Structure 1
Amino acid sequence: MTEQLKPAEPVLHLDQVSRTHGQGAAEVHALRAVDLRVYPGELVAVMGPSGSGKSTLLTLAGGLDSPTGGRVVVEGTVLGELDRKKLAAVRRRSVGYVFQDYNLIPGLTAAENIALPRELDGVSARAARREALTALEELNIAELADRFPDDMSGGQQQRVAIARALIGDRRLVLADEPTGALDSTTGESVLAVLRARCDAGAAAMMVTHEARHAAWADRVVFLRDGLLVDETARQDAGSLLLAAATNARKDGDR
């Protein structure tokens, strides 16, 4: 089933999405009826304490896991109604995902890691490599093109993973702590690239614990115990720090 897209339709719609792990006494509610829309041109930051459901939110949005309630809709397509082959195609073509642990293939160079999703989608090896080199240049790491992951620092691997998420015409970019292994200057440059991609029409959702990074976003949503408990529009970093601290205190006072 595919929903009819309208000009103002979200790229991503989490429609009353829940995710429960285990049963009985071992049951854990990772997410509880979260309703969230991310629109073209919009960068949404997700904040919250450890265990609040932030990473679960991204894995469901990217079709890497399935909700136990509700539905995930990407560009009008309900992910839960796709077979494995069609779901994999949506992830390759429409969704760019930056993992916390990078997920680079050790036996491939940086350029090969970045080009792989495009080659799997039928793009020629030569064209895919050109796109990969462009993505590396965009992140100021062109010199890493022929280097293997084991020959890179953690920060370099993270930027290669971000380049892989941005290659091609990805309409939805999902990033789990994309600046976690980067120094402040490099982190800001990566966020500028992500912001530019949104300004060009993509939608993005980024998990972060840094209010100064969340200040790049158009909206910030706060999770606690699997619930979306607060949301704020774009504002300065000082106000975001106050909002983050307030939510942290709420969590500590429960």
Structure 2
Amino acid sequence: MSQTDLARPVLQLRNVTRVHGHGPSEVHALRGVDLAVHPGEFVAVMGPSGSGKSTLLTLAGGLDRPSGGEVLVEGVELGGLSRTGLAAVRRRSVGYVFQDYNLIPALTAAENIALPRELDGTSGRTARREALAALTELGIAELADRFPEEMSGGQQQRVAIARALVGDRRLVLADEPTGALDSATGEAVLAVLRARCDAGAAAMMVTHEPRHAVWADRVVFLRDGRIVDESIGRDAETLLLLSSRNGAGR
């Protein structure tokens, strides 16, 4: 990777706003957010319910468009892309872990993971090999040929994480990725995300747990759609203090 690639953010939000509704029902989910996530960086996002955390992720992943400002992934401004171009960026560059998993019921675990790769032109054999490697990395290779209805919620969550990590994803976005997992499994998943960042990817994770946020290089705190605080480093005591001050556990 060149020095230019290292210097350029994988994800950049410039003065991003998102407004839902109109008139009396208007809700400002995000208000002038500026944020950059660089190669190798793991960023955690915390804040109280309704602070704009999930909205931030959906805009970063190109699943929604901002009302104002710009969202760039690897230097490409998402607002200027067609629906086809946006879908291509999501398949090639962005891995997204949804809270509700979003697995396709009619496909096995391996097929769910391989599908984005096949849609992007990877051969079926190669896509399955990559899917099995991702399942193995998450410690669930035995789930490869099971359908979602044959898995527990925690197993579905890990399959969804494997899908987000398969291939050369430069940006991983995770919305409460450990929510359905026991403590030990959750820590193992965070270790995998940390390892991906250490290998050069960028990640942004929404969490309400300070003990999970300590895996990140940086923690940003949202309140009422604005970034109101930030912590650099993995100091659990400082994170607990900032979380309490900013209502992040509510």
TM-score range, shorter chain: over 0.9
The one-letter code of the counterpart of 2:162 is A
Q: With structure 2 as the length reference, what TM-score do the two structures score? A: 0.97
Contact 2:6 2:38 in 1 (8 A): no
Instruction: Spell out, residue by residue over 1:131-165, the C-alpha distance to the aligned partner (whole angstroms, 9 max, x if none).
Output: 00000000000000000000000000000000000
The one-letter code of the counterpart of 2:14 is D
Three-state SS of the structure 2 residue aligned to 1:248 is coil
* Residue of structure 2 equivalent to 1:160: 159
* Residue of structure 1 equivalent to 2:198: 199
Q: Which runs of 4+ in 1 moved over 2 A?
A: none
Three-state SS of the structure 2 residue aligned to 1:49 is coil
* Residue of structure 1 equivalent to 2:210: 211
* Residue of structure 1 equivalent to 2:227: 228
**Structure 1: how far apart are the matches of 2:96 and 2:195?**
17
Instruction: Spell out, residue by residue over 1:15-64, the C-alpha distance to the aligned partner (whole angstroms, 9 max, x if none).
Output: 10000011111110000000000000000000000000000000000000
Three-state SS of the structure 2 residue aligned to 1:243 is helix
* Residue of structure 2 equivalent to 1:119: 118
Three-state SS of the structure 1 residue aligned to 2:7 is coil
Three-state SS of the structure 1 residue aligned to 2:71 is strand
Identity of aligned residues (%): 77
**Structure 2: how far apart are the matches of 1:77 and 1:28?**
28
**Structure 2: how far apart are the matches of 1:103 and 1:235?**
31
**Structure 2: how far apart are the matches of 1:93 and 1:7?**
19
**Structure 2: how far apart are the matches of 1:160 and 1:178?**
11
Q: Write the mapping of 1:1-254 to structure 2, written as runs, cut at 5 A.
A: 7-248=6-247
The one-letter code of the counterpart of 1:56 is T
**Structure 2: how far apart are the matches of 1:47 and 1:16?**
19
Contact 2:61 2:173 in 1 (8 A): yes
Instruction: Select between 15-24 and 240-249 the one with higher mean Cα deviation.
Output: 240-249
**Structure 2: how far apart are the matches of 1:7 and 1:228?**
24
Deviation at 1:243?
1.1
Gaps of 5+ in 1: none
The one-letter code of the counterpart of 1:78 is E
Deviation at 1:236?
2.0
The one-letter code of the counterpart of 1:236 is D
CA RMSD, Structure 1 to Structure 2 (Å): 1.3
**Structure 2: how far apart are the matches of 1:243 and 1:188?**
22
**Structure 2: how far apart are the matches of 1:236 and 1:229?**
19
**Structure 2: how far apart are the matches of 1:209 and 1:98?**
16
**Structure 2: how far apart are the matches of 1:123 and 1:103?**
22
Instruction: Spell out, residue by residue over 1:68-88, the C-alpha distance to the aligned partner (whole angstroms, 9 max, x if none).
Output: 000100001000000111110
**Structure 2: how far apart are the matches of 1:108 and 1:101?**
16
**Structure 1: how far apart are the matches of 2:221 and 2:242?**
9
Three-state SS of the structure 2 residue aligned to 1:71 is strand
Deviation at 1:200?
0.3
**Structure 1: how far apart are the matches of 2:127 and 2:39?**
25
**Structure 1: how far apart are the matches of 2:60 and 2:5?**
20
Deviation at 1:6?
5.1
The one-letter code of the counterpart of 2:145 is D
**Structure 2: how far apart are the matches of 1:248 and 1:85?**
39
Instruction: Spell out, residue by residue over 1:171-214, the C-alpha distance to the aligned partner (whole angstroms, 9 max, x if none).
Output: 00000000000000000000000000000000000000000000
Three-state SS of the structure 1 residue aligned to 2:157 is helix
